């Protein structure tokens, strides 16, 4: 990450994949590491349990747990990191501070469906509905998160 910054790239970071077996101490350590690189956005995302995979037995972090973690990430990043996102998009995540959501279509390794937009993925329209429900203003046009330079 430091080398990417030295090369002039803007970074987006993610606390991912969050799993039920991660301790609070481990998550805090990773949040602090990502804060130190001054990303343009940060996020938290849970591991999606794929049926039949070796990790299925561990389960998935609940949406409530991810909402709590996302709120901590938002607070830990401070005012200099404008963007905060979560995956998968949800109203509780937006209420916890996620102001950036990813619309997905096509194949996705977190999904058993061949077109994730018809399953786990979200369209831009659905992402807007989530922001509306959480009472976030919606920006039309290019992202403001990537216009920042250190």
- Between CA 87 and CA 12 the distance in angstroms is 14
- Between CA 47 and CA 43 the distance in angstroms is 13
Query: Which tens digits make up the pLDDT trace of 52-81?
Result: 888 889 999 999 999 999 999 999 999 888
Cα radius of gyration rounded to whole Å, the chain: 16
Coil, helix or strand at residue 45: strand
- Between CA 31 and CA 18 the distance in angstroms is 12
What CATH code would you report for 2-147? 3.20.20.70
pTM: predicted TM-score of the whole model, two decimal places: 0.84
Phi and psi for 111 in degrees, rounded to 5? -135, 140
- Between CA 96 and CA 84 the distance in angstroms is 9
Residue 142: asked if its preceding bond is cis (omega within 30°), the reply is no
Query: Which tens digits make up the pLDDT trace of 74-108?
Result: 999 998 888 999 888 899 999 999 999 988 877 77
């Amino acid at each position: 990450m430091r080398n990417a910054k030295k090369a002039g790239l803007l970074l987006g970071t993610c606390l991912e994949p969050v799993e039920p077996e991660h301790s609070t101490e481990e998550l805090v350590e990773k949040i602090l590491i990502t804060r130190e690189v001054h990303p343009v956005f940060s996020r938290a995302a849970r591991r999606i349990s794929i049926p039949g995979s070796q990790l299925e037995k561990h389960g998935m972090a609940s949406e409530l747990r991810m909402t709590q973690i996302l709120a901590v990430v938002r607070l830990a990043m401070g005012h200099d990191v404008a963007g905060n996102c979560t995956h998968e998009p949800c109203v509780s995540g937006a209420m916890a501070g996620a102001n950036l959501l990813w619309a997905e279509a096509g194949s996705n390794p977190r999904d058993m469906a061949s077109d994730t937009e018809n399953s786990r993925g979200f369209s831009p329209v659905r992402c807007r509905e989530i922001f509306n429900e959480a009472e976030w203003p919606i920006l039309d046009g290019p992202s403001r998160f990537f216009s920042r330079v250190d």
